[in-house]
Structure 1
Amino acid sequence: MPFGRADHAVPVALRETAAWLAGAADIDTRWLVEADPESLVPHSPLVDSPAVRETIVAAMLRRAGEIEVADRPWARAGRHLAHPALGRQLREVLAESDAGPPVEWESRARVRLAVRLARDAADADLVDRLLQLAEDDAWDDSTHVLAASSAFAGDPDRASDRLRGLLRRFTDPAVAVGEDPDGELRGGLLRMLWPRHIATVDVLPVLRHRGKPRRIGTFRLFRRIFAERLPEGDLDTVLRWAAEE
């Protein structure tokens, strides 16, 4: 039977039980997964079946247009959606962006949701695909940050070199102010990379071009974190740089 969103959401008090039931091996619970897949995600560690986890992901991708415009507490929860076909499952969705951002919202939402879920997949090809998306100027800053974050979460060492290259673009003031006026991408990249994957001296040229951000976001937050966590050995370098500003 078909399931509508409003009248088939799993009540909060029953979601843990629903996740356990969805993973039961001796009954067909696809109807339960299809009814409200995102409510099962915070309890997905209870789901031992790779096939059921694949079904959860597929159901979420089909409902991506709704999920992307709703609150996403599931995205902040601990989850376990990995299964053997997850990389392939998400690469098929990301292929929808090969010609640039899709015009239709449903397709664009599927791409964004696939990017969010990609951090659950241990897949080198998927990391490369995410980095391509992060570097694609046709996409918006929030998608750039999502793609960079998922690539970095998937393989920090593999992703960091290309993310440093992306960050270096913003040492050009015209690029910094023109392409990232609010500093959301710069701030996101700096928070990922510093201090383990980028030296303090390489951070400073990126901090120079603040522009006129329209909101308090990741760039302003990073500047505060940078000042609070600056290693003592880098203090002279930063003071000399600040005196020249």
Structure 2
Amino acid sequence: MAAVTVKRLWKEYGPQVVLENLNLEIAHGEFVTIVGASGCGKTTFLRLLLGVEKPTRGELLLDGKPVPAEPGPERGIVFQRYSLFPHLTVTENLLLGLEFAGSRFLGRLFGARRRVATEKANQLLDSIGLYAARDKYPSQLSGGMQQRLSIAQSVICEPRILLLDEPFGALDPGITADMHEIILRLWALNRMTIFMITHDLKESFQLGTRLLVFDKRRHDPQAPEAYGATVTYDLPLKGRDILPVGQASA
């Protein structure tokens, strides 16, 4: 069974058609990169996967079932702008997700459960080079460090699907190269299915196992909102294979 199945999906906002007639099957563990012109529905597609938007028509299935109507721990998301809590330390930002997952009503863990969660957070921080900054606040971190923490925040609960909306677009090239290594390491370790929007075609080929190009097939100058974007190219990428669960890439 595919991780994500899209059948004849349309998304409209009143008279504006954003996405039209999308049909896809995404296997478990794929790293899907998404490119296309601004405004062609890429972020809308991620919002549909996250569950904060609903299709106007058609089906969007996760593991054969309709996408839940709200975000859940099985889906993590990272935006270009950092989604961190400024009043919490680095460790506390990570612990928050584990606390809500482990104690939905109190939102807090205590005793042995908190020690286990803290150890898990520290191990993740160590793997991305942030352990030394564990007691700092987001405002005390560089942009690259904040984005590393945002990614860690999204994977700490081990989501099955990770959604990345231009996560490296605001970073310097040298920092971006480091972020590529980190996201590939986490992908290989956790065997997530990843969808990543990027404007950098080179980046899409470097990271992905599959490339989707979003664009409009039909245009009407008299009615520019009458037609939406769809997947115009769906390309397997040879440079990187989908790995069996638990197997890290070289």
TM value normalised by structure 2 = 0.26
Bigger radius of gyration? 1
Higher-RCO chain (CA-CA 8 Å, sequence separation at least 6): 2
Question: Greater share of helix residues, 1 or 2?
Answer: 1
Q: Quick check: which one's strand share is greater?
A: 2
